[in-house]
Structure 1
């Protein structure tokens, strides 16, 4: 309390002095203003009847002025920049570093990394690494000039001649960390390098400056060349909103490829479905991937690779909430079988468990924007491709020629409805890009030529007068119906007859029960695959029908 009492009194006296000076300055300013206006100054004190109260207040003492010839005070902060640089040449690196840290102005004016020679800077960091206690267990990277943990260096850079106890300072001054070595291209391109003893092999890429393990190493076709002064790509330095505008003009496959290039792109393009926005390109991409998986599954047994070679329905199916291929365990039973007819055939409403939780989960976790985007999706009734409500169909624009041909065929069939034979038509009524019903719904593939694969050889073996294909046959159909074993052909009119016309010409009447069963089995999902006992069983059934 005794120490605080003088301080309080001194503060109070200074405050009173400041208030009195402020009052005196206000009075002087007011008196000068009235004098210039040729008016009498009004008293500032209360009105009184005494004659002394009418006198003006005394004028303040004049403020002493500084002599004009006295020089201004000089300091280190007021020195010109060239003189400051000249003084810095006489300082070593530690002294110049301490001087630059004294004030903000000196820190902006003096850069020790540029003003000091490189050997002096290297020698200072080597002494700091070995003798400063706060740097125990750390090593200096002489490329980025940072004290880092030993785990950030390769095995050869933290031991031996490059280690802390190395005798050659020049060798120790050439040490660099793992990050600087990868970005600087100091390792061999895409050759395995171990960061530690017994560790994993990392594969650095000199083109993009990234390194990954064997499963995450850089792919040349997806690699982005580095650019800029910092070694990063120009796309990485773009703002996120600008990058999203760039991605909006790309296809869904291109957005996914850009997202896989590096970690920076993966963080900026966090939701490819939202960034792309083109529902047709996303639908076409995932449908093409699904069809490719089906082809791989069909050829799996023949190529010697594991896969459900005997199953026409693939295990992986497309999720149209995130537009990715998912396995069966990632769908509910209801969502997995949405392509079947009892479920309405609405395969485009299939969602995985993750999308269901994201759309209809707890209120604080629901992504309403993603759910609104999914609910606006539907299949175009004209071209059978995916579109959004309120937007033009891009599939109709791309397939306008095929749609016009399809409309022409429908009109021709509508005009000749009584004489049209559906089984004998060679035109492809349904376009080939209607893919989900056959490829993804579990149906068997349609044969390109059912006659040559099943019906023709069977009739030839039964000696019904067919030579493998109706195109090379000629004659009267009635003769074939009267004599089944005389080798006479079928009557054609320049095109392949349909299945119904074929059987009517052979038998001269309606179908037989045995022939119907044989034809359905031959033209079904096992067409062209009957051998041995199965073919004998079919022939016996055909014989029963003939009897």
Structure 2
């Protein structure tokens, strides 16, 4: 086949180009994939671009149903998986109206092309792979979170009455062996061991010392579970209802802070669904299952295995009512025994109130799944 294709292209180039001019986009791709020689001779995109119908040919391919559910980028004219597009550009092209409109108008663009053409607004949030990303037009950096590039307002003129918006781009993380303090120069494992003996607030303060420590120290993972729980539990116990509607247990001011017991962050009310707030108030023993919308997305949409395993290992201690790891002794009770605050560790404390639901229904998630009928989950 290689000899025939080379002979046809070398001896009869006019016939070869005439054959290529009468083939469609899919046939040209199949012809180029026949052998290595034709793969270098036949450029399907270049031929269709000379005809002026490359995007129309991509649209016809995009309208077909693919087994791997790929989408077409009409800037680089490639079929890419959904993970290469932002949330607004990866809508279902058959069930979603916006997805069909993107296919008909040939406006879908992948993240790589959007960064090169500055398709996204300057430092505006873009949802990509379940997280907020920001594109900086100054340095062209596409990052997760506003850590490298930030907007600042600088006074203009001598009077300082007018402010001008400027963008400040910080350098990348320094090398671990250059210009770091002795504590920052340590390997990550000793730093994790140091954080293990700190409480949650001290771990947060240590992570805010420098940019390097912010990426190395993870208080939500390294600090003991009971310290994380006690820190976020204070916020929930000290909550206040809305003064204008005190009888509604989920009605809070919009800027009221609520805790998430998965990422152990204190966030605004807008980051929590109404179901989570209502269940936390109705079930005073299981409010430690309260989760923000971001953690719910990671747990049940992205199926983050590490986060799911860590979440299902949590269990309420019956003695001190703190969180502990299933199958392990409670660290908080061990500290009480060491300080003498707990005289009889074998004597069980008050058993927390339990609620049993029919079937395998988890009201915190709002969907049915195959688990035991009792709740909390064991």
Structure 2 length normalisation: TM-score? 0.39
Structure 1 length normalisation: TM-score? 0.28
Structure showing greater radius of gyration is: 1
Bigger fraction of residues in strand: 2
Bigger fraction of residues in helix: 1
